[in-house]
């Protein structure tokens, strides 16, 4: 299929491209999917080298057309293999189209392709995902708003990839030094700008891109440009607090640390390590007092227990000054569905209210910015940072931040359903019987807030045969069940239902699968389970939860951290609930309790 598409590819002549950069951008957008289709013909073990060969050839074509005499640093690693005729044709076409664009855009269009062409395993291992140019530009603007001075600042990207941030930063430094000689600018860049990267191929593309960007200066100065990128494992690079700005899009994904590394990063760890969390700790270590950290990361750092230690570190050592929430997680990152934010932190700054903005990447690739108000960090440094994800949540978030009551004050705690079903496959049954208990799956909690005993999905059996050592799996007390996985695109993030006490008694207990949270009473609760479920299913609590959650997981920690009305305030809602359920009157009365907190 890919061969047939390539055979039909008609490359626009160079003279036609030169008439309009829009034509070149169209060509790049047209050829890029063909390159992705072509590389799938390469077996995965060879695909990384093939991707590197492909992008290197495209860069060679770009250089031949734009700066044939420019000095270029040699690659850090030479990939194995050769390209077939189809690959050579596509790479040449991409390099030719890129040659008609401004230098930084041209380089970004090629280096960004490397991560896209990697097999999914390599991309996940490296945590390598292309950063859209609109978000790069906005994060650089945030650094400028934080008063980073391009004429004096020392700047580091500790996971620079193909140079998405190094290139625009280098361009701004050049623009900020209009009166300096070319040689002086090159020397300045060599002293002040540094990128670190684990993947030698990505590092090579970053350095090549910088060499091409600096070609006008190196040709006028008559000297080669500085080497600005080092290939290394940043986790093992001894940090020096010497940079005025640490900027970038750190890698994402879980990370297995050595015992020594876990000790070194212990101040920011809780449970398993995530690459971007570790790289945030690294950024704090590399930044000088008063310096700025500007990072593009998932929003999950704002909530969840796994990032509690990291939030504490940031609040104490480098509080946030501004956060831009990226409004869409679809169509922003290629091959990634991720809720992200752009954040600026000040090392040694005061934990003052930070500004919240919203960024939307438009269809034309431009970023639209909506500015909002300021948000205060919580007094409890481990707690989630409550921040409105959309402008309409601003007043609610401010009100919730003033409410001290939590689930524990209502007499409840949250735990995860104990059964990981695929570890007990042999004990799943289709029919009840002796020592068999109902197995409660996530679909038992319906969208209308009702409990319905059912097991309708593939591999979901309705009964569990408990052995003599399985007593810890059996839930014998009534509780409120909450689905553990929901997405921001859903109409509701909180989907809860009361597990009826009569159902539990009838069957002598149930087994709850771990895609459900259980909101369980601590002794004698002060709020009924029925009212608890109704409040969790309300529109108001759904919006409050969205202000503290940064991932698709509805975690026990975040549920226990939600600001709630006091027991006395919520008591009258029980009468409304008994009169007609979760009616508009019930919803309005609950919303008014948060409005009163904002008064």
Q: pLDDT, tens digit, for every residue of 374-412?
A: 999 998 888 999 999 988 999 999 999 999 999 999 999
Q: Is the pLDDT of residue 276 over 70?
A: yes
Provide the sign of the torsion angle of the four alpha carbons 222, 228, 232, 237, taken in this order: positive
* pLDDT-wise least confident of 42-51, 109-118, 120-129: 120-129
Strands 354-361 and 367-375 come out as antiparallel
State the Cα–Cα distance between residues 501 and 509, nearest whole angstrom: 10
pLDDT band at 331 (very low <50, low <70, confident <90, very high): very low
State the Cα–Cα distance between residues 122 and 97, nearest whole angstrom: 28
Read off the pLDDT of residues 20-40 as tens digits, 9 standing for 90 and up.
788 888 899 899 999 999 999
- Cβ contact 317:346 at 8 Å: no
State the Cα–Cα distance between residues 107 and 202, nearest whole angstrom: 12
Domain ranges of the chain: 407-598
Nearest to 225 by CA among 261, 272, 182: 182
Structure tokens at 415: 């735990």
CA 332 vs CA 121, 299, 356: distances in Å: 21, 15, 20
pTM value is: 0.90
Reported in sequence order, the residue ranges of 264-402 that DSSP labels E, i.e. its strands, are 273-274, 287-298, 320-326, 340-346, 354-361, 367-375
CA 389 vs CA 38, 167, 328, 596: distances in Å: 39, 30, 11, 21
pLDDT band at 127 (very low <50, low <70, confident <90, very high): low
Beta bridge partners of 480: 498, 519
Read off the pLDDT of residues 284-310 as tens digits, 9 standing for 90 and up.
999 999 999 999 999 989 998 889 999
Read off the pLDDT of residues 428-478 as tens digits, 9 standing for 90 and up.
999 999 999 999 999 999 988 899 999 989 889 999 999 999 999 999 998
CA 311 vs CA 253, 269, 300: distances in Å: 18, 10, 11
Q: What CATH fold (topology level) applies to the domain 407-598?
A: Adenine-n6-DNA-methyltransferase TaqI; Chain A, domain 2 (3.90.220)
State the Cα–Cα distance between residues 422 and 515, nearest whole angstrom: 12
Please write down the HEC assignment for all residues of 195-244. EEECCHHHHHHHHHHHHHHCHHHHHHHCCCCCCCEEECCHHHCCCCCCEE
State the Cα–Cα distance between residues 108 and 130, nearest whole angstrom: 10
The pLDDT score that the predictor gives to residue 598 is 65
Structure tokens at 390: 């959309």
Nearest to 255 by CA among 234, 230, 238: 234
Phi then psi for residue 485, to 5 deg, are -130, 115
């Amino acid at each position: 299929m890919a061969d047939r598409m390539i055979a039909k590819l008609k490359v626009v002549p160079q003279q036609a491209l030169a008439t309009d950069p829009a034509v070149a951008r169209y060509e790049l957008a047209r050829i890029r999917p063909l390159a992705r289709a072509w590389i799938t013909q390469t077996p995965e073990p060879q695909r990384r080298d093939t991707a590197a060969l492909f992008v290197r050839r495209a860069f060679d074509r770009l250089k031949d057309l734009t700066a044939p005499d420019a000095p270029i640093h040699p690659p850090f690693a030479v990939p194995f293999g050769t390209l077939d005729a189809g690959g050579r044709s596509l790479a040449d076409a991409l390099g030719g189209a890129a040659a008609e664009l401004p230098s930084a855009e041209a380089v970004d269009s090629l280096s960004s392709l490397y991560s896209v062409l990697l097999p999914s395993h390599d991309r996940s291992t490296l945590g390598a995902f292309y950063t859209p140019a609109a978000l790069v530009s906005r994060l650089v603007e945030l650094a400028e708003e934080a008063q980073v001075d391009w004429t004096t600042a020392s700047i580091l990207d500790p996971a620079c990839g193909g140079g998405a941030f190094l290139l625009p930063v280098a361009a701004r430094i050049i623009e900020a030094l209009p009166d300096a000689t070319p040689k002086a600018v090159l020397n300045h860049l060599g002293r002040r700008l540094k990128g670190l990267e684990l993947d030698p191929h990505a590092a090579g593309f970053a350095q090549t891109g910088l060499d091409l960007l600096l070609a006008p200066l190196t040709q006028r100065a008559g000297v080669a440009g500085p080497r600005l990128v080092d290939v290394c494992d940043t986790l093992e690079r001894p940090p020096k607090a010497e940079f005025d700005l640490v900027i970038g899009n750190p890698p994402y994904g879980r990370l297995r640390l050595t015992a020594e590394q876990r000790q070194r990063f212990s101040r920011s760890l809780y449970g398993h390590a995530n690459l971007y969390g570790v790289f945030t700790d690294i950024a704090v270590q590399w930044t000088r007092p008063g310096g700025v950290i500007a990072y593009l990361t998932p929003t999950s750092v704002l909530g969840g227990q796994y990032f509690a230690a990291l939030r504490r570190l940031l609040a104490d050592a480098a509080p946030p000054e501004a956060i831009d929430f990226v409004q869409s997680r679809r169509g922003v990152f290629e091959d990634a569905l991720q809720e992200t934010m752009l954040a600026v932190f000040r090392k040694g700054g005061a934990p003052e209210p930070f500004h919240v903005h919203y960024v939307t990447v438009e269809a034309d690739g431009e970023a639209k910015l909506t500015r909002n108000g300021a948000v205060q960090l919580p007094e409890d440094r481990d707690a989630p940072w409550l921040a409105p994800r959309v402008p309409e949540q601003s007043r609610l978030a401010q009100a919730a931040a003033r409410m001290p009551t939590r689930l524990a004050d209502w007499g409840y705690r949250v735990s995860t359903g104990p059964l990981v079903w695929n570890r007990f496959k042999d004990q799943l049954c289709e029919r009840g019987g002796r020592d068999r208990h109902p197995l409660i799956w996530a679909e038992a909690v319906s969208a209308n807030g009702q409990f319905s005993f059912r097991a309708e999905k593939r591999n979901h059996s309705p009964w569990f045969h408990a052995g003599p050592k399985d007593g810890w799996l059996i839930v014998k007390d009534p509780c409120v069940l909450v689905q553990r996985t929901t997405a921001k695109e859903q109409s509701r993030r909180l989907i809860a239902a009361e597990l009826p006490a009569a159902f539990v008694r009838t069957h002598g207990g149930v087994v709850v699968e771990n895609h459900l949270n259980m909101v369980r009473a601590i002794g004698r609760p002060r709020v009924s389970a029925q009212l608890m479920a109704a409040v969790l299913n309300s529109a108001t609590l759904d919006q409050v939860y969205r202000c503290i959650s940064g991932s698709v997981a509805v975690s026990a920690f975040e549920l226990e951290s939600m600001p709630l009305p006091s027991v006395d305030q919520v008591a009258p809602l029980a009468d409304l609930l008994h009169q007609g359920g979760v009616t508009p009157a019930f919803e309005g009365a609950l919303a008014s309790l948060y409005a009163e907190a904002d008064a």
